[in-house]
Structure 1
Amino acid sequence: GLGSTFTIRVPAVLPGAAAGAQTLAREEPTKTPSELAAMRATGAGRTVLVIDDDAEAREIVERLLRSDDFLVVTASTGEEGLRLAHALQPAVITLDVMMPDMDGWAVLRALKADPVLRDVPVVMLTMLDDKSKGYSLGATDYLVKPVDGDRLRGVLSRYHEPDAACTALLVDDDAAVREMVSHTLTATGWEALEAENGRVALERMATCRPTLILLDLMMPVMDGFDFLVELHASPDWRDIPVVVLTAKDLTAEDRRILS
C-alpha cells in the first residue's frame, strides 16, 4: 500500500561482474535542477531513487532496476537523497540501513514526516545476514527458543518497573510459545498482550503502547524484520525495548552486534 516499507537483501556481486569491478566505483555526475525536472516529467511512475553510501551497492541496484526498464537516480548520502526525493518525487525509494552521518532510519523518519513524500514506498536494503540484521534494526536483547524460564525472568526483571503498570507485547506465531511466555509474564507482574504476527502486533500497538516487546523473527504475514522497520519508522514507538526470540544460539559476533 501507499507509504509501505519493505526490507530486501541484494547480492554483493552480480554474476559476471568481477571483470568489470573497477567500473562499480564510478560516481554519477550531479544533475542540474532542469535535468531533474525533466526526469520527473518523463519518468512519472517508473523513477526509482537509490540511496546508498556504497558505490558498488548503488551500481548493483541500478543495473538490476535498469534491466527492468526503471529510470534510476542515485544518491550517496541521506541528505542528498532527501534533496533528490523532493526534486523527483519518485515512484519508489530504495534506502540503505547503515550509512554514516545520516543513517537509513533518520532518512526514513524524514520521509514519513514530509507530507509530500510520506506516501512514497520505501524499500530498506541491507547486506547483513538475518540475525545480524535483526539486531541492527534495534533489538536490545535476545532469548533462545525453547525459552528457558529463568533466563526469561532475568530479562524481564531488567525492564520491569515495580511502581508502574508494565505491559509486554508478545509477537510469535507459535501458540505454545505464546502460552508459556504469557504465563511467565503474568506470574512476574506483567500484563501480557499477544499477537501472532507483526501486522497484528502493529494493530495492537495502535491502541496500547507496550513497555516491552518480545519478538519472534520468522513469522508469516509480517515477520520480525519488517515489524522492526515499522517500529523504527514511528517516533512514538522506536524507543520501546525489543527482545528477539531466536530459534538458534548466537555466535560471539552476533552478541557483539547486539550489545
Structure 2
Amino acid sequence: MKKIYLYGNWKMNMLPEEGEAFCRSLADRITGSLYGSDLVDICLFPPFLTVPSVLKALPGSPVSAGAQDGYFEDRGAYTGAVSMDMVRSAGCTHVLAGHSERRHIFGETDEIVAKKLRKALDVGLKAVLCFGETLEERESGKTIQVVQNQLLSAFQSVPGEHAQDLILAYEPVWAIGTGKNASPDDAQEVCAFAAKLASGTFGGQSRIPVLYGGSVKDSNAGELLSRPDIHGALVGGASLKVDSFLAIYENYRKLSAG
C-alpha cells in the first residue's frame, strides 16, 4: 500500500479543552498500532489558540500539529496576524497556505498565497498549498486552467531545495463544507495534473504528494484514496470526531487489502 497523508483541518472549531480531549482520545487509539508506521502521516490543524493544548496532548504519538495560516512578514504592525516563525516556535511543523476559505472569504490573491508559501518554507515548515476551482469555473470547463494558474504562481516562489517540504491539496471550492465532493475520477484527473506540473517544475525526483479535500468522509474515502495520484486527504468536518477521522484511513485500508 502507498503512504497516506491524513490531515485534519478543524477550521474555527474546537476550544482548547475540546482539542486536548480529542488528541488524548486519538493518541489512545493509535498508540502501538499501524498508525505509527511509515504508511500514514497524520497532522491536525487546530485554531491558533487551541494549538498549545493539542501539542500538550500529543507527545509520544505519531501525530503532528500545524497552523491553518501564517503571515509572510516577520514582525510589524499587522494586527491579528501571526508570523511563520511564531507558528514554528509554537511547536507546529506544518502550515496551510491558500485554503479556499482564505482565498474566497478573506480575499487572498495568488500573490499573497505565494508570499506566505515562500515564508513558510524559508522558516522550515512543511507547507500544504491548497488550490481549486469554483463551481462556475468547473462548469465553464476552466478547471485545469485555473489550477495551473494557481499552482504556477505559487511554484515560482519555491526554491528547488524546498520542494521536499511542499505538499499539495486539491480542494474544489464548490465541495468545501457543502456535502458535495468531486467524483474519484474527476479528483484523480486534477491531482494527476498537479503532480505532473510539480514534477515538471521541480524535477521528477521531488515526488510532491497531492491530497484531496472537499467533504471527505469514511463513505467516499476508500475510492478517493485508492486513485493512483491521490496521496491523502485534507479533511474538514469529519476530522472533528476521532471515529469519523480514523475511519477515513481504515476504510481505505480495507478496500486496498480486499
TM-score past 0.5 threshold: no
Bigger fraction of residues in helix: 2
TM-score by structure 2 length? Answer: 0.29
Q: Please tell me whether Structure 1 or Structure 2 has the larger radius of gyration of its CA atoms.
A: 1
